[in-house]
Amino acid sequence: MAREKAQDTGVVGKNRRASFDFELGERYEAGLSLIGSEARSLRTNGGDVSTAWVDIDHRGEAWVKEMRIPVLPHAAFGHEEKRTRKLLLHREEIEKLRGTIERDGMTLVVTRVYYKDGRAKLEFAVARGKKKHDKRHSLREKETEREARQAMRQRR
């Protein structure tokens, strides 16, 4: 008997401020190592990745920190909301990331969390923090784009 494929629920958490606070570079996808109540809660309640970031420890393992998954009120065995969770990456990817963040002074910022083929996945990007004047420039660009779109709508 063929087993049915788990249905994807799509994006369950997104970091909207990432592109405003950081210059985002190359993006990576990693699997998330979750316990049962976390997987259920992530699928039903979503997760908060607005303050989440990825760290690589001295043993060569990648961990996501400050990611919030709400606790289910009816779960028999709960979990900590902001527990450090392991990321599932290939050794070569981890070494490449380690070299990038050590050499260039970059950081790894979580951009979104989602389900793909029934498995929890995390997307993160290599990022460099923006200065205050860079943020003002980004706001100015957004505003001019918005005004241009409004002008185009009014002409129609």
- Domains in the chain, CATH or no CATH each: 11-130 (2.40.280.10)
**CA 7 to chain centroid:** 21
In this predicted model, which residue has the larger pLDDT, 152 or 134?
152
pLDDT at 9: 59
Closest by alpha carbon to 109, among 51, 43, 29? Answer: 51
* Dihedral sign, Cα of residue 11, residue 50, residue 101, residue 88: negative
The helix (H) or strand (E) run that includes residue 132 is helix 132-155
36, HSE (Cβ side, Cα atoms, 13 Å): 5
In this predicted model, which residue has the larger pLDDT, 80 or 65?
65
Determine the longest span between alpha carbons in the chain, in angstroms: 60
Q: In whole angstroms, how far apart are CA 53 and each of 9, 84, 95, 139, 155?
A: 23, 10, 17, 24, 44
In this predicted model, which residue has the larger pLDDT, 8 or 30?
30
